[in-house]
Amino acid sequence: MTGQTVTRFLGLDPGLRRTGWGVVDSAGSRLAHVANGVIGSDGDKSIAERLVELHSSVLEIIERYRPDAAAVEETFVNKNPESTLKLGLARGAILLAPALQGLPVSEYAPNRVKKSVVGAGHADKDQVQLMVGKLLPGVAFANADAADALAVAICHAHFAQTHRSIGMTPPPKSRRASAGGGMQRAIAAALAKEAGQ
């Protein structure tokens, strides 16, 4: 990707027990794997302590890899209301981390992620992993959650590229752009949103 403007995307697949994360670089239509992994929370701790673990871990990933934008997979209601509530709490803690750093955060339904990566909205996990491997040659997944997170990042890279090419939304801040703090990014995002209304 030498000589091209590179945008870095963080994908997150939220869960209270395990949250997958993946980072990819995008330059035009080219993608490159940066890193992936899984964040775990200690089931013996209180919900509040587990949420702190998730939030702090996502902040550490953002600090280490400096993404330009983040994307999170949406989740739907489970049959078990208690599980749904816990997953909602985990999603809140995870969504808050990039937002507090001034990163634009997008959300994608699982079917949209699968359709973007595999071409079919009802693809199974094996198909998703296979296509992620083809799109990011040589990648080794920490586990299925990390592969799903990479798929979310790839999905967001595809949509961001499409939006830039047709001028729908301002592109995420690129790696070549001048360095700025999270507050500057938050202000810029708020102004861009207001201008679009």
Which residues are identified as catalytic?
A: 13, 73, 145
Sheet with strand 18-27: strands edge to edge: 30-40, 18-27, 7-13, 69-73, 105-108
Helix 125-135 to helix 110-117 angle, to the nearest 10 degrees?
50
Asked whether 5 and 174 are in contact (CB, 8 A), the reply is yes
Q: How far apart are CA 109 and CA 72, in angstroms?
A: 9
Asked whether 118 and 154 are in contact (CB, 8 A), the reply is no
